[in-house]
Amino acid sequence: MTVDGIERLKALVDEVAGTPGRIVSAWEYTNAMNHRIMFAAFTESCKCDIFESPAVENPILIYRSDKFIGKYRFMNGVI
């Protein structure tokens, strides 16, 4: 699933937390077609194909093990 803002990604993570459809990884990347920063989220049942997509440039893992990491770790404290 792709969203266009970190706030939307956080809302999505919170919405499905603790469910079978919970998000197990999320990535920030540059969309090769429009050069916008985008976010991709992958659930337990969804194969992470971030490195297979031709529209993805510079993917950076920003969420794993139920926590935001790297430059987005501050989102763990956002309610």
CA dihedral of 30, 50, 70, 11, whole degrees rounded to 10: 90
**What is d(CA 78, CA 22) in angstroms, rounded to the nearest whole number?**
18
Please provide the average confidence, as pLDDT, over all residues in the chain. Answer: 94
Position 79 pLDDT exceeds 90: no
> Which pLDDT tens digit goes with each residue over 19-50?
888 999 999 999 999 999 999 999 989 999 99
| Helix H or strand E segment including 54 | none
